[in-house]
Chains A and B, each alone.
Chain A
Amino acid sequence: MLFQQLINGVSIGGIYALMATGYALIYSLLGFSNWAHGDVAMVGAYIGFLCFAVVRLPFLPAALVAVGGAGLLSVLNERVAYRRIRRNNSPTMFLMIAAMGLSVTLQNFILVTVGPKFKTFPTVLPVKSVSLGGLHIGVLDLVSLAVACVAICALQFMITRTQAGLAIKACASNMRVSALMGINIDRYVTLVFFLAGALAGVGGLLVGLKYTVYPLMGNISLKAFIASVFGGLGSIPGAIVGALFIGVMEVLVSGYVSAGLRDLFTFGLLIAVLLIRPDGLFGRTVEEKA
């Protein structure tokens, strides 16, 4: 029973991890928390739903359109708002306010255009479970965990092994010096926003398949966000560990303590981490610069 719960937790944690890595990427580059990230995932899920259930594309092309669309939306957010604020040399807090505005805009755009109703994906995968040595694992959970693993490994490969990854790491370490060294910063910021948005789109699709699609589903990214704080803001491995930890903790709290208190535990963890070790598990200690 405990083992069963652990597996459910890891499967949810995988989805949180997809979103948390996006948060971490953007944070490591621009140093602000992108509140609109979860809403990008939400829009991605809606695009997938529309392509699959309304336009009746086959599932894989629909999913590709959704993921690409989420990536482009994320880039669009950067172009419309964040880039201008960076150019103005405004305080980083303005980036957060703009992100909050974007989040409100996206949620209400979907509310106004598609409506507040919960949408259910038609069945894509058979709703049954696989038995593995006495454990029952849903096919969907298994697939979503696999997808999350592949996506995150691909990202990790890109960042550690390619030239683009090197450039991104350079920008994260010091943007001005990177620009002086001839790195086209805007191009890599765009790339990072696209990658983060695409990962969020994958996460949104998986959440949509597992539960339903609705305008406020972006709020699930709050958990991903807490995961990325827990792991250390800006650290990708930290975000993954944090996401898995929170997924497992939530399942255990719902199973053994009380489902109503689940969120209280998650937010309690957040405040406890901030008090005991504000840099998170893998965070670098960064002095605040004036």
Chain B
Amino acid sequence: MSTYEQGIIILIGINIIAVLGVSILTGFTRVFSFGNAGFMAIGAYVSALLSLRAHAPFVAAILGGMAVAGAISWLLGKLTLGLRGDYFLIATLGFGECVRVLFEYLDPITGGARGMPGIPAKTTLPAVTISVVLAILLAWNFLHSRYGRNLMAIREQGMAAEAVGIDTAHYKTLAFVVSAIYAGWSGALYAHYLTFIAPNMFNLDKSAELTITVVIGGLGSLTGSVISTVLLTVLPEVLRAASTYRMLFYGVAVVLIITVRPAGLMGYREFSLAPLHRALDRWRARRLAAGTGAKP
């Protein structure tokens, strides 16, 4: 495999982890956040500083980035998740921009707007593969646990969920923290892959892109999110000539999907081979019936 192909696979993996976080938050809890790029930035910068200044091992640097992103999201969520949906969205948007401006301003520590070079290149293909498998397994089990079912209850009918005794503010905060931890994880991998980070990489557009990916994949499908991440990362590479039209295409796609087919690519369904198996069984049964019919 060429380094170019490896690079694309690594990028897909990094994107998948960030998108999974947004999927849990927006797809399964129906809380809309524009601050996840901010958490990616926190994960990236904290892990990079741990690697560069403290010479921490890679795993410790990633865990550090995830922990700081999670802690900050917990604080922000506690403060703002009691608010109505769009106020929360605005608060996360303001937060994401604040993080970016702050990293630009803290020049002596972060290198300011010029960015931070010289981060050790530790994100290899095996590291990303392990991370992605782990991230998907954790997300899958989380969503199929009692916690995940409570989140989906909040998504379907917040008031009814509250009425049957689900502490909605608490569970929304939980989903928010999980999504921030995933964003931090992805940011840490990103920093150690590119070996250079700048505040501008984690702007509002990045947050929008994460949400767009989830919307295209389907609001409420983990596999849909994964498939759409792969598509949206590979397509621009294949269609290099049309790369200027990439974001235009994203915008049009989101408007079309949300107006015509709000369920996205996968809807609430997960990708599985079960329908194929059922079709095969039916086909076999028919053949068997035809066979027995022909015998006598």
Query: Which residues from chain A sit less than 8 Å from chain B, CB to CB?
Result: 32-33, 80-81, 84-85, 88, 90-94, 96-98, 100-109, 111-112, 219, 222, 225-226, 229, 233, 258, 260-261, 263-264, 267-268, 270-271, 274-275, 278, 288, 290
The 9 closest A-B pairs by CB, nearest first: A101-B254, A105-B251, A104-B251, A108-B248, A290-B159, A267-B94, A101-B255, A270-B94, A108-B247
The contact string, 1 if C-beta is below 8 Å from chain A, for chain B 282-296, is: 000000000000000
Q: Is B95 an interface residue (CB 8 A)?
A: yes
Determine chain A's interface SS by DSSP, over half rule: helix
Pick the contact of A275 from B80, B89, B90, B160 — CB < 8 Å?
B80
Closest chain A residue to B162, Cβ basis: A290
| Contacting pair B80 A102 (CB below 8 A) | no
Smallest CB–CB gap between B79 and chain A, Å? 6
- B244 cross-chain contacts in A, Cβ below 8 A: 111-112
Smallest CB–CB gap between B100 and chain A, Å? 9
| Contacting pair B245 A112 (CB below 8 A) | yes
- A88 cross-chain contacts in B, Cβ below 8 A: 259, 262
- Segment 47-88 of B: residues with Cβ below 8 Å from A: 79-80, 83-87
Smallest CB–CB gap between B248 and chain A, Å? 4
Q: Is B215 an interface residue (CB 8 A)?
A: yes
Smallest CB–CB gap between A92 and chain B, Å? 7
- A233 cross-chain contacts in B, Cβ below 8 A: 86
- B101 cross-chain contacts in A, Cβ below 8 A: 260-261, 263-264, 267
CA A201 – CA B30 in complex, angstroms?
33
| Contacting pair A81 B91 (CB below 8 A) | no
| Contacting pair A100 B254 (CB below 8 A) | yes
CA A97 – CA B257 in complex, angstroms?
10
| Contacting pair B83 A96 (CB below 8 A) | no
CA A222 – CA B32 in complex, angstroms?
17
Query: Which residues from chain B sit less than 8 Å from chain A, CB to CB?
Result: 30, 32, 79-80, 83-87, 89-91, 93-95, 97-98, 101-102, 104-105, 157-160, 204, 208, 211-212, 215, 244-245, 247-248, 250-255, 258-260, 262
- A222 cross-chain contacts in B, Cβ below 8 A: 93, 97
| Contacting pair A105 B252 (CB below 8 A) | yes
Q: A261-B105, A267-B94 are in contact. Are A274 and B245 (CB under 8 A)?
A: no
CA A101 – CA B214 in complex, angstroms?
13
| Contacting pair B79 A275 (CB below 8 A) | yes
| Contacting pair A92 B252 (CB below 8 A) | no
Can you spell out 12 A-B residue pairs with CB atoms less than 8 angstroms apart?
A81-B255, A81-B258, A98-B255, A101-B212, A101-B251, A104-B250, A105-B251, A108-B247, A111-B248, A271-B98, A275-B80, A288-B85
Smallest CB–CB gap between B212 and chain A, Å? 7
| Contacting pair A108 B251 (CB below 8 A) | yes
| Contacting pair B259 A278 (CB below 8 A) | no
Closest chain A residue to B253, Cβ basis: A101
Q: A225-B90, A263-B101, A290-B157 are in contact. Are A94 and B262 (CB under 8 A)?
A: yes
Closest chain B residue to A100, Cβ basis: B208
Extra inter-chain contacts (19) besides given A111-B248, A264-B101, CB under 8 Å = A80-B255, A88-B262, A100-B254, A101-B253, A101-B255, A102-B255, A108-B247, A108-B251, A219-B204, A222-B97, A225-B90, A260-B104, A260-B105, A267-B97, A267-B98, A270-B90, A271-B94, A278-B83, A288-B84
| Contacting pair B158 A270 (CB below 8 A) | no
| Contacting pair B85 A93 (CB below 8 A) | yes
Smallest CB–CB gap between B282 and chain A, Å? 34
Smallest CB–CB gap between A258 and chain B, Å? 8
Smallest CB–CB gap between B129 and chain A, Å? 31
Smallest CB–CB gap between A210 and chain B, Å? 22
| Contacting pair A98 B258 (CB below 8 A) | yes
- A97 cross-chain contacts in B, Cβ below 8 A: 32, 211, 215, 254, 258
Q: A81-B259, A100-B208, A260-B105 are in contact. Are A274 and B90 (CB under 8 A)?
A: yes
| Contacting pair B90 A105 (CB below 8 A) | no
CA A201 – CA B253 in complex, angstroms?
26
- A107 cross-chain contacts in B, Cβ below 8 A: 247, 251
- B212 cross-chain contacts in A, Cβ below 8 A: 100-101, 104
Closest chain A residue to B208, Cβ basis: A100
Smallest CB–CB gap between B157 and chain A, Å? 7
Pick the contact of A100 from B157, B211, B245, B253 — CB < 8 Å?
B211
Smallest CB–CB gap between B143 and chain A, Å? 19
| Contacting pair A98 B259 (CB below 8 A) | yes
- A96 cross-chain contacts in B, Cβ below 8 A: 32, 86, 89
- B159 cross-chain contacts in A, Cβ below 8 A: 290
- B248 cross-chain contacts in A, Cβ below 8 A: 104-105, 108-109, 111-112
- A290 cross-chain contacts in B, Cβ below 8 A: 157-160
CA A268 – CA B158 in complex, angstroms?
29
Residue among A91, A260, A264 with the highest chain B CB neighbour number at 10 A: A264
CA A264 – CA B101 in complex, angstroms?
6
| Contacting pair B251 A270 (CB below 8 A) | no
| Contacting pair A274 B83 (CB below 8 A) | yes
- B94 cross-chain contacts in A, Cβ below 8 A: 226, 267-268, 270-271, 274
- B258 cross-chain contacts in A, Cβ below 8 A: 81, 85, 90, 94, 97-98, 101
- B105 cross-chain contacts in A, Cβ below 8 A: 258, 260-261, 264
